[in-house]
Amino acid sequence: MEDRVMAPRRNRPRILLVDDSAFMRALLREQVQQALDAEVLTASSGEEALPHALTGELDCVVCDVNMPGMDGVAFVKAVREHLGRLELPILLVTAADSKEDRVRGLRAGASDFLSKPVEPEELAARVETNVELARLHREVTRMAYTDALTGLVNRRRFLTRLDEQSGNAYGVLMLDIDHFKSINDSCGHAVGDAVLAGVAGVLQDCVPPHHLVGRLGGEEFAVLLPGLDLPAASDVAERMRAGVSGNALGGMPRGKVTVSVGVAVALQGETPARVLQRADDLLYRAKSLGRNQVCA
């Protein structure tokens, strides 16, 4: 899940330079570092560059078109299968009069072009502009998919990710803070907000990075657990329940804040919406049985 990669990037741009010429890599590296104070990675081929490009840790790629093996255009096509133009800008370096390369590059998904010989000022300006656009896009995307109070993914993002699991093995948890209305009524909404943020932190700490915790709304949370069977998903749910009740959250005494949890795993041919509904039904069963417990 790439949602944990959606945080704002470091201040220094992280640029990947791809060229089969060691001389050109060194020259471009020096120019970029001097002009932008950037962190620069290099690769000698499209094949070598591709894993770096798909990590989600780059701000921009500058890639020569003419390289043996996977050339620049093929590299762009491979990246665009996973990342859009605004997610990762790719600047292709080509001969000044190579209209054919530019057309092929644009159709493949190139963001911009640099002409040989590369002028240092133009290189810096084009890289800087594309980095700024990419960072703006990431920030807008992050805001659209993130719950502002807890920092978790919001309902829309969670349901999108859940739908993508169709046909896979996965578990879903539905969690609800017990007696949350009484916390708001007796302690005020500021304390309620602090409780929500505290619970979110505990839930996030209980899962590895490739699992997804979301706030669906109000005091209701959901967790997507790819690849887990029912016993493993139930273990995660119990860790979350115990973690919440075992901490003093939002300034409340330890044990005052608790959660009820419903656990479901996908059955053969079952839709994600149905799995989520079963987890929700089990959540309400946990509520009816006395709260602060897990039902699977």
Catalogue the active-site residues. 219
Give how far Cα 269 sits from Cα of 126, 211, 231, Å.
49, 22, 20
What is the rounded CA–CA span in Å between residue 173 and residue 296?
9
Pairing of strands 294-295, 220-226: unpaired
Let me know the angle formed at the C-alpha of 34 by 59 and 19, rounded to the nearest 5 degrees. Answer: 60
What is the rounded CA–CA span in Å between residue 233 and residue 224?
9
Q: Encoding tokens for residue 89?
A: 């800008």
Going by C-alpha positions, the residue among 70, 90, 211, 74 that lies closest to residue 152 is 211
What is the rounded CA–CA span in Å between residue 257 and residue 174?
16
Going by C-alpha positions, the residue among 94, 117, 118 that lies closest to residue 106 is 94
Q: Encoding tokens for residue 178?
A: 């017990």
